[in-house]
Structure 1
């Protein structure tokens, strides 16, 4: 052996011995990452090749036969993409969501073509287009989509490859991939035309298993049983996906309880047992230490409140915020408090179509939404005009129909109250020249609102295996909600709101064609313009007309009436509205409706089952906050 080689080998052996058991074995780690990198690059180049084939087909002379060939190639191309998605989306999230596999809707991106509308593009748009009827117009549309996809894939390959990975990042990619499969794959979100989500999820699952199996090259003895258990769970998941590929019949609840949640937990356990350092590369809302998609801490609300005055998970500010939340002296007439519109007994809503204003005989413009779990969002209010919970407070204080006052007046009142002077000093001393100021008031109220978390419902306990009994109707309802009913493709698990998985970086609004009351015979479109009129420049685009925030359906049994205008009195009305295809499905002319106008064809029993599931999302235990060993009733 040459002296140089011997020296290198000696150094490596010494490094391994000195590094001890508290760190990952360097040589094995390099072997694992190198194998994954090589495999990923092969699969990416194969995807690129399939995109090239697709684009070339669109250059042929237009005919129905060519159209069918394109349709088949779109399916093939999408399956090739599923081999790389769990890694590609982790590293290229904005680019992926904008150009490669984002929802087939117009987009306003802060990363690309800032300030302008980006037309629908990518694989989801193609999946939708090739399942529309053949026509010259549609063929030309598909041709543009295919050409754009090729341009974007070619571009990203130059900056994305070769990829460099760490073992910890590979595991995080897989765990996020599990979330993606469950929330976007088997729900049909990702396949709006083909409804091929089960088959595509199978391909994703199979690739994630093969990627994980590269860790076999360097396993500590104590991690080996966990490695085998994870591989078996993947194989069971693949069997379930392959043997039950009928979209409407696939049992998503079984998949969640017996495959997704156990895998999500055991991958973290394996990482710890195999001494792979916890060092996530990507910043996102998932709490990497969570072991279950429905753990109360699966998502971290601190992610959504990074720029606040003081972190919102602070006992002192939560307690102070609760007092301010309930105090009518914050309003101009000393008669209204936050409780006026957000009653704990009504899920922190008020039970009215539109909330009462400070002027007798008048209401506010919209229905009062629940505040439970409201912290899991990037935008606030129905029209999404506020960017965080602190700024939301100011909108209420300044609104002429609500508190009808300003911060200066409130500060003057609070400075005359010795109790508040002490509480603000205890919580905020030393941050600013004066303890009671606009930011500290807003921060305290935001901290309290952020604490209103509700993840101990009957459903949560069942999927966390804390209870065994769960109604059969609710089981059927969950599967319908996440499948045929298409509810879960807008109300994303686990919060069941519009925060988009798997990284929960953005919050969505939808155009549903909400009517003035539920009248399916003579429907009239509600006149509220919604998001397009919220005063924010980047939202002043036609596709945001009549668009409203997708709020959580947790505790929905407590918060009737429904929708932004409060015009749907019952959950039955809401489900029937969706069942008919929204406003457009009922015959209204709505160019930008994001809800499909096609009827869902839900039976009366299926609607009852979905409502049965929704009722199991009720959680009154979330109405208390623990403080220094005691509980404070909300």
Structure 2
């Protein structure tokens, strides 16, 4: 019996060899991982060495004439970091974003120094500082930044190295690296002072290519063709980046369609053909089973609703939520429903500068934002006071000018309705003591809002290669939006909102210097304090004064007027405001304005092109037809 088993096993192995169904042995896979880890650790040490040189140079600099040397060393240090960033950021996401290469802004980070303000630091802060006006004060600031960077790099190296990699995680590093290059590198987000986006993107790309090629030492026959295609795409991308060094003229749309999206998809195919099991290092909002940056499932709303009462994809709760969304019984005196401020015909807004209240002739403090794609965020409301979509419902119900009631009164009403009793029992029966309760009501409405997803606009169809038709002015507009216009450095692709790539774990707010009326000659700053006054103790920080959530520009053609106070009636006015450099650019004293006060120098035609692109993001096909 034993001999028979050995014989069958031998025949099976011979069959596999003859049929070409080879896979990398554990030994071969280990060797690949060891090589990648060794190269990465060498590159990390190179980066650490460049940081040491920067500190030494900064500490020895005494003359303002030596600023050019500091610029050159900051550039070298940043380029060294770009060689490791796609792996380092994947494994050390929050540390990287807080201390190594986060936006040069103060922040309160729940992961480090909870409740304390962390002043701007890291490579972006250095990039900005060395391109500021040379002065003794600025030189001292650069020394502090450089020494702080060294301290943090030295600290993390002790726990981060040696690094232990898995094949699937390397591929995820590569795929998220593509997203980073396209959304943060090529937009200029990463280089606020130098705008050295093209060179840095090239270095990142080259390092990612080198890493992937290590898989070539043990490619299974099934994946050989895919490996070659990916190799060719990396080479094509490198050629394009190397040949196009002008930031404003780079064809980002062509690069997305011809290289980034195909490569993103092919890497997943290679992973599947190589039988590399999906083993994420951490939970990200990015869905690594998606094939295109603009697929409807590229981001997973389950990530943003992880702690809800019941998962938001339940058909029974969605149908119930839709009914509640339209029902004025949820308000005091049955005067208002969610539809009152979120009309499907107006992109789920109300078309007013500030939303109407439950009192005739009285309006609320702010404009009604769209609910389309609202769930792709970690914070809600203009002042970001709510942390999930269920809690947003509570704020509306409690507000004196909105529903002006409480859950106890609503529960009493719904319990007297036989249809609601039936529907809540079907959806929530047996979960709690009572089927109709605060959380089930909030959850049902959140489940309905979660269905308001919009990913089938003319732009989406074009970049997914579902159509060849797309207006030339919109193509130019996308390139301007993602480049010269700097729109994409706050409204991040693919949602074009403030949720930050490449992992989409946090949502941003911005200080734009919004005025009370659009008067560029005698402007007056709007008096709404925004995020600093949202009631959250941790956000009573000066840099959150006049700070408001960065909302999506998808379906923006339907959602006028714009901004938290409904200041602008047209997109032309919005673009002109940005073109002037916001409130600070118009001469106002705006504390901590995050928008650059430098004019964008957009021509009239360029503004029209950007608007053409934004209007091509319109899509309500999935939910307006069946509201009734």
TM-score (norm 1): 0.95
Matches within 5 A, 1:595-634: 595-623=595-623, 632-633=626-627
Preserved CA contact (<8 Å) 2:23 2:220: no
Task: Name the CA distance, whole Å, in 2 between partners of 1:21 and 1:319.
Answer: 49
Preserved CA contact (<8 Å) 1:57 1:66: no
Task: Name the CA distance, whole Å, in 1 between partners of 2:169 and 2:133.
Answer: 43
**CA shift digits 1:232-262 (9 cap, x unpaired):** 0011101111101100000000010011100
Q: Which residue of 2 is the match for residue 304 of structure 1?
A: 304
Task: Name the CA distance, whole Å, in 1 between partners of 2:449 and 2:28.
Answer: 47
Q: Which residue of 2 is the match for residue 384 of structure 1?
A: 384
Matches within 5 A, 1:238-257: 238-257=238-257
Q: Which residue of 1 is the match for residue 169 of structure 2?
A: 169
Q: Which residue of 2 is the match for residue 9 of structure 1?
A: none
Preserved CA contact (<8 Å) 1:24 1:276: no
Deviation at 1:22, TM superposition (A): 10
Preserved CA contact (<8 Å) 1:496 1:554: yes
Preserved CA contact (<8 Å) 2:459 2:470: yes
Within the alignment, does 1:356 sit opposite 2:350 as a pair?
Answer: no
Aligned CA distance change for structure 1 residues 22 and 282 (closer, same or farther; 3 Å)? farther
Task: Name the CA distance, whole Å, in 2 between partners of 1:623 and 1:531.
Answer: 31
Deviation at 1:518, TM superposition (A): 1.1
Deviation at 1:23, TM superposition (A): 7.7
Q: Which residue of 1 is the match for residue 434 of structure 2?
A: 434
Deviation at 1:154, TM superposition (A): 0.4
Deviation at 1:66, TM superposition (A): 2.4
Deviation at 1:62, TM superposition (A): 1.2
Task: Name the CA distance, whole Å, in 1 between partners of 2:30 and 2:149.
Answer: 33
Q: Tell me, what secondary structure is at the counterpart of 1:524?
A: coil
Within the alignment, does 1:292 sit opposite 2:292 as a pair?
Answer: yes
Deviation at 1:633, TM superposition (A): 3.1
Within the alignment, does 1:448 sit opposite 2:442 as a pair?
Answer: no
Task: Name the CA distance, whole Å, in 1 between partners of 2:333 and 2:575.
Answer: 40
Q: Which residue of 2 is the match for residue 628 of structure 1?
A: none
Q: Which residue of 2 is the match for residue 204 of structure 1?
A: 204
Deviation at 1:198, TM superposition (A): 1.0
Matches within 5 A, 1:11-22: none
Q: Which residue of 2 is the match for residue 270 of structure 1?
A: 270
Preserved CA contact (<8 Å) 1:23 1:276: no
Q: Tell me, what secondary structure is at the counterpart of 2:622?
A: helix
**CA shift digits 1:413-441 (9 cap, x unpaired):** 11111111111111111110110000000
Preserved CA contact (<8 Å) 1:530 1:544: yes
- How many residues matched? 614
Deviation at 1:567, TM superposition (A): 1.2
Task: Name the CA distance, whole Å, in 2 between partners of 1:511 and 1:41.
Answer: 39
Task: Name the CA distance, whole Å, in 2 between partners of 1:137 and 1:36.
Answer: 42
Q: Tell me, what secondary structure is at the counterpart of 2:510?
A: strand
Deviation at 1:401, TM superposition (A): 0.2
Q: Which residue of 1 is the match for residue 58 of structure 2?
A: 58
Deviation at 1:371, TM superposition (A): 0.4
Task: Name the CA distance, whole Å, in 2 between partners of 1:521 and 1:455.
Answer: 40
Runs of 4+, deviation exceeding 4 Å: 20-24
Aligned CA distance change for structure 1 residues 61 and 260 (closer, same or farther; 3 Å)? closer
Task: Name the CA distance, whole Å, in 2 between partners of 1:456 and 1:287.
Answer: 18
Q: Which residue of 2 is the match for residue 159 of structure 1?
A: 159
Structure 2, unaligned stretches of length 5 or more? 1-12
TM-score (norm 2): 0.96
**CA shift digits 1:521-567 (9 cap, x unpaired):** 11110000000000001110000000000000000000000000001
**CA shift digits 1:467-487 (9 cap, x unpaired):** 101000000000000000000
